[in-house]
Amino acid sequence: MKLKVIWFFLLCVATIWANPGDPTVLVKAKDKELQVLLRKSTRSEKDVQKMKVLINNMFDFSLLAAKSVPTATWKDLSSTQQNEFVSAFKQMVENSSVKQLEVYRSDSTIYEKPKIRKNSAQVAAQVWYKGKASHLVYKFDLVDDQWRAWDLIIDDLSTARNYREQFNSILRTKSFDELLEIVQKKAAEIK
State the Cα torsion 11-16-20-21 to the nearest 10°: 150
In the complex, what is the shortest distance from the CB of residue 26 to another protein, in angstroms, rounded to a whole number? 20
User: Looking at 6, 161, 177, 185, which residue binds another protein (CB under 8 A)?
Assistant: 161
Stretch 100-139: interaction string toward another protein, x if CB under 8 A = ---------------------------------------x
Angle at 61 between CA 55 and CA 67, to 5 degrees: 120
8 A C-beta contact, residue 148 and residue 140 = yes
In the complex, what is the shortest distance from the CB of residue 149 to another protein, in angstroms, rounded to a whole number? 13
Task: Label the pairing between strands 115-116 and 120-129.
Answer: antiparallel
Amino acid occupying residue 46: K
- Tell whether residue 155 is a contact of another protein (CB under 8 A): no
Secondary structure of residue 132 in the 3-state scheme = strand
Report how far Cα 26 is from the mean position of its chain's Cα atoms. 11
Q: Which of the stretches 6-14, 25-33, 34-42, 64-72 binds another protein when contact is defined by CB under 8 A?
A: 64-72
In the complex, what is the shortest distance from the CB of residue 120 to another protein, in angstroms, rounded to a whole number? 9
Q: Which residues bind another protein (CB under 8 A)?
A: 67, 70-72, 139, 151, 156, 158, 160-161, 164-165
